[in-house]
């Protein structure tokens, strides 16, 4: 089945399909750029790119695919993988659940019984996950995280200091969540260090092509299809893709799973990644967001790609 689909896709003019999609949606003006982090409001709202990287290492791209932006919540997927690599599945499950919330990404809510954050894709769960990254002191933890991103992308990455500082100064809601989780013993001191690392991971700079290669690495059992480097232990790919599938698009996750039908994750700066297991990674960047915080053009492009190529898992 997977082979049949790969053959189909390889024989279709994928590049010209992406060019047409870009032309079709570039005039779409719906949605608004996130401005709750002051530094994010400075982005060009019209920026738009679509990239696909296959597990064979081919890359198809259109639009502003070199434009850098901060990865934001898409980072949560990869940091979850690093935490699994560091501690294993059983321990991570005691600290972060795998249930969708149906609430907004920044909801201040923990599971009533276990006191765990619901899942690693919402802010509370992501802060808990980040707090588990191993390392001796803040700089070793940051370096391990940056090195993890390098493995997925294939080149070094940097933190945008202006965005990091902006989030650190204004992120009171995230601080409140960290204190709540400290109260329930779900994260440990020093929480300021964990929050700094969380704000730093959100401020890692990527472009749309980088995101497609990262998604393709997940599609390729954790091996970067271009550099051939193992970015995450292959036994955790199913954990990562399962929570992306059920929780990656926040309170739109159900409708996304129903309509698009592939694991995905969005970020507030306008990126979306989607993973077609054993085939390809898809990335779209367009900063205008809908009311749930997902890129308007990004959702439409993925819906159309899924329909056209029959990517829905079921």
Q: Does 174 carry a binding-site annotation?
A: yes
CA separation for the pair 236, 161 (Å, rounded): 31
Q: Does 268 bind ligand DON (CB under 6 A)?
A: yes
Record the tokens describing residue 2, joined without a space: 């997977």
Q: Does 278 carry a binding-site annotation?
A: no
Instruction: Yes or no: say if 117 and 132 are a contact pair by the CB < 8 Å rule.
Output: no
Helix 191-202 to helix 172-183 angle, to the nearest 10 degrees?
140
Using the minimum distance from each CB to ligand DON, give the nearer residue, 73 or 306.
Answer: 73
Cα–chain-centroid distance for residue 48?
A: 17
Record the tokens describing residue 292, joined without a space: 């749930």
What's the min distance (Å) between Cβ of 5 and ligand DON? Answer: 29
Q: Which of residues 85-114 bind ligand DON (CB under 6 A)?
A: 105-106
Q: From residue 135 to residue 174, what is the string marking binding to ligand DON with x (rule CB under 6 A)?
A: --------------------------------x------x
Q: Does 293 bind ligand DON (CB under 6 A)?
A: yes
CA-closest candidate to residue 14, choices 290, 206, 202, 280: 280
Q: Does 287 bind ligand DON (CB under 6 A)?
A: no
Up-side HSE of residue 242: CA atoms within 13 Å toward CB? 9
- DSSP β-bridge partners for residue 283: 51, 273
What's the min distance (Å) between Cβ of 51 and ligand DON? Answer: 19
Q: Does 63 bind ligand DON (CB under 6 A)?
A: no
Q: Does 66 carry a binding-site annotation?
A: no
Q: Does 250 carry a binding-site annotation?
A: yes
Is the preceding omega at residue 190 within 30 degrees of 0, hence cis? Answer: yes
User: What values do phi and psi take at 241, rounded to 5?
Assistant: -70, -30
Q: Does 198 carry a binding-site annotation?
A: yes
Instruction: Yes or no: say if 191 and 199 are a contact pair by the CB < 8 Å rule.
Output: no
Position among 100, 222, 261, 267 found at the interface with ligand DON (CB under 6 A)? 267
Only one of the segments 55-63, 139-147, 148-156, 264-272 lies at the binding site for ligand DON (rule: CB under 6 A); that segment is 264-272
Binding residue numbers for substrate: 73, 123, 167, 174, 198, 250
Binding positions for ligand DON, rule: CB under 6 A: 72-73, 105-106, 123, 167, 174, 202, 266-268, 293
């Amino acid at each position: 089945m997977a082979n049949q689909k790969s053959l189909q896709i390889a024989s279709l003019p994928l590049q010209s399909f992406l060019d047409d999609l870009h032309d079709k949606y570039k005039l779409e003006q719906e949605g608004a750029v996130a401005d709750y982090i002051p530094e994010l409001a400075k982005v060009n709202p019209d920026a738009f790119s679509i990239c696909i990287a296959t597990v064979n290492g081919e890359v198809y791209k259109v639009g502003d695919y070199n434009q850098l932006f901060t990865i934001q919540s898409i980072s949560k997927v990869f940091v979850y993988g690093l935490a699994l690599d560091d501690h294993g599945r059983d321990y991570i499950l005691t600290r972060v659940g795998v249930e969708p919330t149906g609430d907004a990404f920044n909801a201040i809510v923990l599971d009533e019984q276990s006191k765990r954050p619901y899942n690693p894709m919402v802010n509370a769960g992501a802060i808990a996950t980040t707090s588990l990254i191993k390392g001796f002191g803040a700089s070793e933890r940051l370096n391990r995280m940056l090195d993890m991103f390098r493995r997925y992308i294939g080149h070094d990455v940097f933190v945008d200091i202006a965005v990091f500082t902006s989030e650190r100064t204004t992120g009171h809601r995230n601080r409140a969540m960290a204190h709540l989780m400290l109260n329930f013993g779900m994260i440990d001191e020093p929480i300021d260090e964990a929050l700094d690392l969380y704000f730093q991971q959100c401020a890692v700079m990527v472009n749309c092509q980088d995101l497609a290669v990262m998604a393709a690495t997940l599609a390729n059992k954790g091996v970067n299809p271009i550099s051939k480097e193992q970015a995450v232990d292959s036994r955790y790919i199913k954990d990562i893709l399962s929570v992306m599938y059920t929780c990656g698009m926040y309170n739109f996750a159900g409708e996304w799973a129903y309509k698009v039908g592939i694991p995905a994750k969005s970020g507030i700066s306008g990126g979306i990644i989607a993973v077609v297991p054993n085939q390809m990674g898809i990335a779209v960047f367009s900063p205008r967001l809908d009311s749930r915080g997902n890129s308007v053009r990004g959702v439409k492009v993925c819906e159309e790609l899924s329909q056209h190529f029959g990517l829905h898992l079921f």
